[in-house]
Amino acid sequence: MAGDLMRIFNKYLIKRSFFISFFIFTIFALLDLVFNFISELENLSDAYTFISALKFVFLSMPHSAMNFLEGACLLGVMISLGISHQEGNLNVLRSSGKSPIQIITISSLGPMILVFFFLVADEFSFREIHLNTQVERSLKLSNNQDTSSNAQWVKDDNSLISYTNIIGDTIFNVKFVKLASNKVLYFKTASSAKISKNRIIFDDSLLFHSFNGQGNTGAFEDFLFPLVARVSFNDIENLSIGDVRKYRLLLRGNLVKEDQLFRMHLDKSFYKRIFYPFSILAIIIFFGSFIFSSLRDSSPASRIVLAVVGGFVYKVIQDFSISLFISFGYPILIGVIAPATLLLITCVFDDISELQDTYL
């Protein structure tokens, strides 16, 4: 009978924390959508209409909202534990022999389900949808922007390519120049082009001009696009985990200083995403333990504020730890997991101390 009662309490904690976390996450996502849409209104034109802006922010919302997943889960668990404490459910669980860490871990199962679902969905769906709609947006905006000052040039043998920006495997405002003996044979322009292995494939807006009446008039050109040129430091976060892993493998070995720094930032993105659930679980257990500490007599609002401030401080410390390890060339993995590991160790020692005080 007691076992059935405990299972009921456990399921209740899991469901409550899940739904509260999901509700908070939804609110954050909708607020982000509103602010992004207001920002996009500044870019409206004949090509990029009100509907286009609305479509862009809606399709980008699932991927953009991933930034709020950690905070939503932390708040969800804190609010759930706070309500359960006021109802007396936590006292029942404690009297049954469950330690604070066990209770918090049970309550965190609901948000962790949410975390794994969105991580998988973002990896296989949300991220790709975001990139595709970003490509569509860039194509509509490119005709209304002065792109000459933002052009970047890449050279491969006797070929040159100029482009203004790159999203995934698509480059925009493309100019291709074919040289021979330092003379221009022909050039091509297009609104966009796809990078496909060692070839550039232009879109339907392709224009061709030859200076000697000869040249490749097709919609493709052989061109080895450098790996580092495909991904800027700012675009690393838009890569899938699989792509980040592929680039890390390609950049193994002796590298020049710039490539080593690029590899470190790839490591940073890779390990942060791999250990993202571990990081969320660590801060949930750490701040959730305050419900059972000397702060248990404080108001629910104060605990929520403490969790929000503490979560922000944790992010700052983690970013500082990663930057420190990058600066000194130490393993990035340690810099990523060190803050979360310290939080968990602190919670374990506090839990052991409390059990000793209880039974000794």
Q: How confident is the model at residue 276 (pLDDT cuts 50, 70, 90)?
A: very high
Alpha-carbon torsion, ordered 311, 313, 316, 320, to 10 deg: -120
Which of residues 174 and 306 earns the better pLDDT score? 174
Beta strands in the chain (DSSP E): 152-156, 159-163, 166-167, 170-180, 183-196, 199-202, 207-210, 220-222
Answer for the pair 351, 101: CB distance below 8 angstroms, yes or no. Answer: yes
Cα–Cα–Cα angle for 232, 233, 237, rounded to 5 degrees: 100
Of all residues in the chain, what percent are helix, strand and coil, respectively (each to 5)?
70, 15, 20
Q: How far is CA 344 from CA 139, 147, 278, 349, in A?
A: 47, 50, 10, 9
Q: How confident is the model at residue 303 (pLDDT cuts 50, 70, 90)?
A: confident
pLDDT above 70 for 356: no
Mean pLDDT of 213-242: 79
Looking at residue 197, its pLDDT comes to: 77
DSSP state of 1: -
Mean pLDDT of 47-70: 92
CB atoms under 10 Å from CB of 114, counted, come to 20
pLDDT digit string (tens) for 75-129?
Answer: 999 988 888 888 777 777 777 778 888 888 899 999 999 999 999 999 999 998 9
Rounded CA-CA distance 352/358 in Å is: 10
How far, in whole angstroms, is CA 133 from its chain's centroid? 17
Answer for the pair 291, 103: CB distance below 8 angstroms, yes or no. Answer: no
Sign of CA dihedral 276, 281, 284, 287: negative
Tokens of 291: 């419900």
Indicate the pairing of strand 170-180 with strand 199-202.
unpaired
The closest alpha carbon to 263, from 253, 278, 275, 277, belongs to: 253
Looking at residue 7, its pLDDT comes to: 79
Per-residue exposure over 137-153, b if at least 16 CB sit within 10 Å of its own CB, e if not: bbbbbbeeeebeeeeee
Rounded CA-CA distance 7/278 in Å is: 25
Percentage of the chain lying above the pLDDT 70 cut:
87
CB atoms under 10 Å from CB of 61, counted, come to 18
Sign of CA dihedral 175, 178, 179, 185: negative
**How many angstroms separate the most distant Cα atoms in the chain?**
95
Rounded CA-CA distance 351/347 in Å is: 6
Alpha-carbon torsion, ordered 151, 234, 320, 304, to 10 deg: 130
pLDDT digit string (tens) for 138-171?
Answer: 878 866 555 455 678 888 888 889 888 787 788 8
Least confident of 70-84, 112-126, 289-303, 340-354: 289-303
Burial of 112 (0-12, 13-18, 19+ CB in 10 A): buried
Q: How far is CA 137 from CA 43, 54, 257, 330, in A?
A: 10, 11, 35, 39
Looking at residue 39, its pLDDT comes to: 92
Indicate the pairing of strand 166-167 with strand 159-163.
unpaired
Residue type, 105: T
pLDDT digit string (tens) for 307-320?
Answer: 788 888 998 999 99
Indicate the pairing of strand 170-180 with strand 183-196.
antiparallel
Mean pLDDT of all residues belonging to the chain = 83
Mean pLDDT of 323-340: 88
Q: How far is CA 131 from CA 50, 152, 248, in A?
A: 20, 21, 21
How far, in whole angstroms, is CA 168 from its chain's centroid? 15
Q: How confident is the model at residue 55 (pLDDT cuts 50, 70, 90)?
A: very high
